[in-house]
């Protein structure tokens, strides 16, 4: 287990840790988050971690909330793709 406090949101959570995981020889990541948040976290992880060859194993924690809106998932997927192309995660200001 590795704790990292540099991230301000889900996209930067993945983008700030991916190189460290690779340097440490990690090949598989267990993604543990609420079922509410899992679709977005999984989408971002697939782009960021998947682009570096890491396998993701989702472990959703049950919740009473509905999944996050599709627009939020799409926005952060675009932010992740931007990072993939440029190496820099943009702010949440993408419309």
pLDDT tens figures, 2-27:
677 888 899 999 999 999 999 999 99
Predicted local confidence at residue 87, as pLDDT: 80
In a domain, 15, yes or no: yes
Residues of the chain with pLDDT under 50: 94-95
In a domain, 1, yes or no: no
In a domain, 4, yes or no: no
Predicted local confidence at residue 4, as pLDDT: 76
Predicted local confidence at residue 3, as pLDDT: 72
- Global pTM reads 0.87
What gap in Å lies between CA 49 and CA 63, rounded to an integer? 25
Predicted local confidence at residue 94, as pLDDT: 46
In a domain, 92, yes or no: no
In a domain, 57, yes or no: yes
Total domains present in the chain: 1
Which of 35-39's residues contact partners 24+ apart within 8 Å by CB, and which partners? Answer: 35/60, 35/61, 35/62, 35/63, 35/65, 35/67, 36/63, 36/65, 36/66, 36/67, 36/68, 37/10, 37/68, 38/67, 39/67, 39/68, 39/73
The closest of 4, 84, 19 to 54, measured between CA atoms, is 19
Predicted local confidence at residue 38, as pLDDT: 97
In a domain, 14, yes or no: yes
Q: Retrieve residue 73's tokens.
A: 């998932």
Domain range for 42 is: 10-67+78-86
């Amino acid at each position: 287990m590795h704790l990292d406090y540099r991230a301000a949101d889900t996209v930067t959570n993945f983008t700030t840790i991916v190189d460290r995981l690779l340097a440490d020889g990690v090949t598989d990541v267990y993604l543990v988050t609420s079922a509410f948040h899992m679709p977005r976290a999984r989408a971002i992880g697939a782009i960021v971690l998947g682009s570096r060859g890491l396998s993701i194993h989702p472990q959703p924690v049950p919740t009473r909330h509905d999944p996050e809106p599709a627009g939020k998932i799409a926005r952060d997927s675009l932010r992740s793709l931007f990072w993939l192309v440029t190496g820099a995660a943009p702010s949440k200001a993408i419309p």
